Chain A
Amino acid sequence: GNSVTQMEGPVTLSEEAFLTINCTYTATGYPSLFWYVQYPGEGLQLLLKATKADDKGSNKGFEATYRKETTSFHLEKGSVQVSDSAVYFCALSDFKETSGSRLTFGEGTQLTVNP
């Protein structure tokens, strides 16, 4: 079955530091890949996505590239801010006409950014 593995957290950084959160996946076919962010007490917000190999998703300074050869979708940001403190989830979606699609999530990575 499908699975997503994220780097273990928590991750603590100083403001303006470089961020990388590793994500690898196992899936049949050609899934779409996503990063979601969850702030305390809230639901999930879509941060960025990529739907095919070599696509780069980007939003709010965050980037991730769909690497089929290494089955990875690592999240990066060049300079983090205190407001980026949240839990980040990597996810994949496999779409089938007969059964729609479902998201498979990783365990999440807690990011804390200190001023």
Chain B
Amino acid sequence: ETGVTQSPTHLIKTRGQQVTLRCSSQSGHNTVSWYQQALGQGPQFIFQYYREEENGRGNFPPRFSGLQFPNYSSELNVNALELDDSALYLCASSPYLGREAFFGQGTRLTVV
């Protein structure tokens, strides 16, 4: 059974650019959640996708958007990148609406 995988592991973007992060959920899981973890802080909930629809959102602006595909994999898109978007982005998959979350290794985004 494969776990949650995220790509890429690291990337560097310039302020104002757009970025897409990808996540493959664990086999049998239909719910994907995304979290942002700034350096030295706990993860913050961005949003959750269940059966290809957004199913809850944290306190993040609309330039953070996402998709979930029929195979339950997911993308996180961030437009108009700001320096404060530099963080570790974590994807978590769950068997049903996030009751128990299993995390990937994360994508380290640096905005310069």
Residue of B nearest to A90 (CB): B42
Q: Kindly list chain A residues whose C-beta atoms are within 8 Å of the C-beta of B103.
A: 36, 43-46
Residue interface mask A88-109, B partner, CB < 8 A = 1? 0101010101011111111110
Q: Are A89 and B90 in contact (CB under 8 A)?
A: no
Q: Are B99 and A93 in contact (CB under 8 A)?
A: yes
- Judge whether A69 is part of the interface by a CB distance below 8 angstroms: no
Q: Is the interface of A mostly helix, strand, loop or mixed?
A: strand
Q: Are B42 and A43 in contact (CB under 8 A)?
A: no
The complex places the Cα of A49 from the Cα of B101 at a distance, in Å, of 11
Residue interface mask B83-112, A partner, CB < 8 A = 1? 000000010100001111111111000000
Binding site for B on A (CB under 8 A): 4, 32, 36, 42-46, 49, 89, 91, 93, 95, 97, 99-108
Binding site for A on B (CB under 8 A): 4, 6, 31, 33, 35, 40-45, 48, 50, 55-56, 58, 90, 92, 97-106
